[in-house]
Each structure stands twice: as C-alpha cells, then as structure tokens.
Amino acid sequence: MSDIKAILAGGLFTSALTLALGLSIFPLFFLGPLAGGYITIYLTKKYEMDGAKDGALSGLFGGVVISLISFAGIGILSTLIGLISTNLGDIASLIGILAGILFTAIILIMFTVLGALGGVLAENMREKEY
C-alpha cells in the first residue's frame, strides 16, 4: 500500500526542484524527479515501501504539475505566434497545440521513469541501512 502523503510531498518536491534547476541551471533539471522519488521513499514507512511504484507516482504527479505550468506558457506562446502571423494564425495555433501535447507526453514519461529510478535507488539504500 502506498503512502499518498509521501507521494504528494515527493511530487511537489519534484516540481519545485525541477523549476528551480530548470530556470537556473537547465542541464540539471533531471535531478528533480530523481530527488523526488528518493524523498518519497524516505518519507514512507518501512513496511509500506515499494520503490519503483511510489517513485513513479511521485514523478508522475510532479510531471503533471510541471505540465500544467508549461501549458500556460505554451498557450501564451501560441497566442503570440497567432497574433504575429495573421495569415497563418490557424496553422500556428494548431502547431502550438500539437507541440504542447508532445511536450507534455515527453515530460510525463521522462518524469515517471526518473521518479521510479530515484525510488529504486532510495529503496536499495534504505534496505542497506536496516
């Protein structure tokens, strides 16, 4: 059984760290989901620990938060492209929407896999402690 509070805390940590690293040192943004999965496992109880599943859920939650924030930015970008090129407004809007959907899918897959990896790493380290 998964600890929902730990998963939500790990997901929020994932999104916060990813935003901070993405804005300051972009190549290190992938550390957010890894650390979020790691934190999730350390917040769970020993008998409820399932590293890959809990880490993946935390990464997925963090990915959803980041995707919602990104959708707002892509929506603004799509609107600006539509205003600049009035002749191609419909095509530019469609391209913006498709790019947003593709970007969201990539984020969700990447954050889920990295969160699961962080969870497995934390589970292995935690088992060695006991």
For the chain, domain boundaries: 4-129
Give me 3's structure tokens. 């600890």
Question: For 64-88, b where at least 16 C-beta lie within 10 A, e where not — what string?
Answer: bbbbeeeeeebeeebeebbeeeeee
pTM over 0.85: no
- Please list, in sequence order, all residues whose beta carbon lies within 8 angstroms of the beta carbon of residue 100, skipping any fewer than 6 positions away: 70, 71, 74, 75, 78
Kindly report, residue by residue over 108-129, the tens digit of the pLDDT: 999 999 999 999 999 888 877 6
Task: Check pLDDT > 70 for residue 37.
Answer: yes
Kindly report, residue by residue over 62-97, the tens digit of the pLDDT: 999 988 887 776 666 666 666 666 656 567 667 777
* Distance (Å) of CA 78 to CA 12, 82, 87, 95, 99: 27, 6, 14, 8, 10
